[in-house]
């Protein structure tokens, strides 16, 4: 089989509170290059690992992992609302295979997803429904949280299934790296309105969603100005993590402790588990026959994000659907960014 991996940070603040134009352009070049590669690769299906931010999944029933048999984007921030193209029978077979591997995977036939999923799909493919996609939510905001090791095991189980099902598959990890946006926690919340929103805040009014988004933007402005009390970004942690994923240093990744990650890099850094799951899926699907490449990193305070990107490509192999051997990914689809070289801030 041929497989591609694309891991990238997302941010709801893009377009609302941006860094300098050169940084915006740098990230836009990165996104355009990834989109060109994905279009050239033309995946049969995408397995998308992403978190939710109390927009689709709430504390009335919070799974650690959830696969969508059907899914709809809520349309928060600048992402579109509407259905994803989820192949139901494939998702059902995938869930059965993953559960057979000992992973307790929840499932939903009416999954709601937010910008964590939608931004990755729109930026990397151009639309919510350009390709069939299996969405897999990883809880990254509501303690108690699964370990990095367990996220790796989820990815492995899914990758073994995908490796037997497809000719060309794209794995996406959407989230991370170091960041700590102003997401309230049930352990410290005292306002009854906030508590109810965390437990069952589905389908907010447009006014309520707009108010929440404005609070996030205001917090980002304060953070970029050096105020607001949010956890600082941690480029050192981010770069070390990216090196470990690139090297597929699973023992180092398994060793991460949730409390230590929160302390070192912020409470929402657990979104990095989407990268771990996606890379582990790539590893299992390709029987280790692939190469990873860390291609971008920059701490961007305006987006409250350590913003990174990492790609992976399976080794050359036969393609039944295309009638012959061909290298996948960047070797086949050299992009404008490839020709220019990577940013000075690349990891």
Query: How confident is the model over 193-240, as pLDDT tens digits?
Result: 999 999 999 999 999 999 999 999 999 999 999 987 889 999 999 999
Which residues pair with residue 300 across a beta bridge?
305
270 catalytically annotated: no
Q: Are 124 and 34 in contact (CB under 8 A)?
A: yes
Contact 74, 124 (CB under 8 A): no
Q: What is the pLDDT of residues 84-130, one digit of tens each?
A: 999 999 999 999 999 999 999 999 999 999 999 999 999 999 999 99
pTM: 0.91
Residues present in the chain in total? 347
Mean per-residue pLDDT, 46-74:
97
DSSP 8-state assignment for residue 190: -
Q: What is the pLDDT of residue 316?
A: 57
- Tens-digit pLDDT profile for residues 303-343: 999 999 999 999 854 343 333 333 333 434 443 333 344 34
Topology of domain 2-313 in CATH is Protocatechuate 4,5-dioxygenase; Chain B (3.40.830)
Q: Active-site residue 179, yes or no?
A: yes
Name the 3-class secondary structure at 7: strand
Q: What angle do CA 147, 148, 153 make, to 5 degrees?
A: 95
- Set 53, 166, 179, 270: catalytic member: 179
Query: In sequence order, which residues have a C-beta less than 8 Å from that of residue 210 and are 6 or more positions away?
Result: none
Annotated active-site residue in 10, 53, 115, 231: 115
DSSP string covering 33-53, please?
A: HHHHHHHHH--SEEEEEE---
Within its chain, how far is the Cα of 228 from the centroid?
26
């Amino acid at each position: 089989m041929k497989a591609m991996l694309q891991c990238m940070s997302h941010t709801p603040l893009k377009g609302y509170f941006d860094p300098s134009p050169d940084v915006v352009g740098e990230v836009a070049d990165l996104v355009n290059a990834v989109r060109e590669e994905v279009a050239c690769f033309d995946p049969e299906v995408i397995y998308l690992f992403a978190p939710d931010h109390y927009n689709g999944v709430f504390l009335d029933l919070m799974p650690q992992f959830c696969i969508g048999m059907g899914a709809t984007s809520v349309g928060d921030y600048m992402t579109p609302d509407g259905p994803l193209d989820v192949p139901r029978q494939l998702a059902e077979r995938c869930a059965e295979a993953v559960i057979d591997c000992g992973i307790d995977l929840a499932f939903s036939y009416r999954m709601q997803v937010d910008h964590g999923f939608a931004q990755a799909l729109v930026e990397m493919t151009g639309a919510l429904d350009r390709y069939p996609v299996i969405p897999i939510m990883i809880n990254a905001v509501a303690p108690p949280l699964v370990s990095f090791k367990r996220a790796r095991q989820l990815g492995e189980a899914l990758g073994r299934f995908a490796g037997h099902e497809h000719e060309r598959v794209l794995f996406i990890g959407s989230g991370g790296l170091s960041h700590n946006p102003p997401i309230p926690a049930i352990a410290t919340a005292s306002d009854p309105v906030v508590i109810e929103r965390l437990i069952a805040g589905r389908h907010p009014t447009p006014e309520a969603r707009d108010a929440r988004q404005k609070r996030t933007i205001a917090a980002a402005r304060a953070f970029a100005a050096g105020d607001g009390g949010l956890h600082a970004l941690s480029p050192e942690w981010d770069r070390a993590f990216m090196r470990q994923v690139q090297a597929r240093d699973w023992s180092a990744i398994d060793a991460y402790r949730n409390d230590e990650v929160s302390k070192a890099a912020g409470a929402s850094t657990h979104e990095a588990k989407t990268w771990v799951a996606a890379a582990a899926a790539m590893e299992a699907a390709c029987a280790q026959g692939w190469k990873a490449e860390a291609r971008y990193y920059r701490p961007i305070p305006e987006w409250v994000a350590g913003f990174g990107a990492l790609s992976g490509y399976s080794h050359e192999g036969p393609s039944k659907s295309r009638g012959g051997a061909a290298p996948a990914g960047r070797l086949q689809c050299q992009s404008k960014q490839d020709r220019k070289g990577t940013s000075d801030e690349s990891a």
